[in-house]
Amino acid sequence: MEKETEKHKAFPQELPKPTWYPLVLSMGVALIFWGIVTQYVMSLIGLGLFFYGLVGWINDLRDEYNESGNE
């Protein structure tokens, strides 16, 4: 009798490629709140970092999805 693992081979799952955008996004959130406590200029810098990280991360995910052939 065959083992269960021999009957059903697992498909290897690909991990997403590493990116810095989640770190940039989280730093943007931290600066937004830091700016609320201290000066609004820090919030503006944080807002810029937040949107830069968000747009970059979404574009990376979209490019990776298109490369995988799931259009």
Q: Tell me the mean pLDDT in the region 11-21.
A: 82
- For residue 54, being part of any structural domain is answered with yes
**In terms of C-beta density within 10 A (0-12 exposed, 13-18 middle, 19 or more buried), how is residue 17 classed?**
exposed
For residues 15 and 64, the model is more confident at 64
Residue ranges making up the domain that contains 64 = 22-71
For residues 17 and 30, the model is more confident at 30
- For residue 27, being part of any structural domain is answered with yes
- For residue 6, being part of any structural domain is answered with no
Helix, strand, or coil (residue 22): helix
Taking only the tens place, the pLDDT of each residue in 26-71 is: 999 999 999 999 999 999 999 999 999 999 999 999 998 888 776 5
pLDDT at position 8? 66
Number of domain units in the chain: 1
- For residue 43, being part of any structural domain is answered with yes
pLDDT at position 46? 98
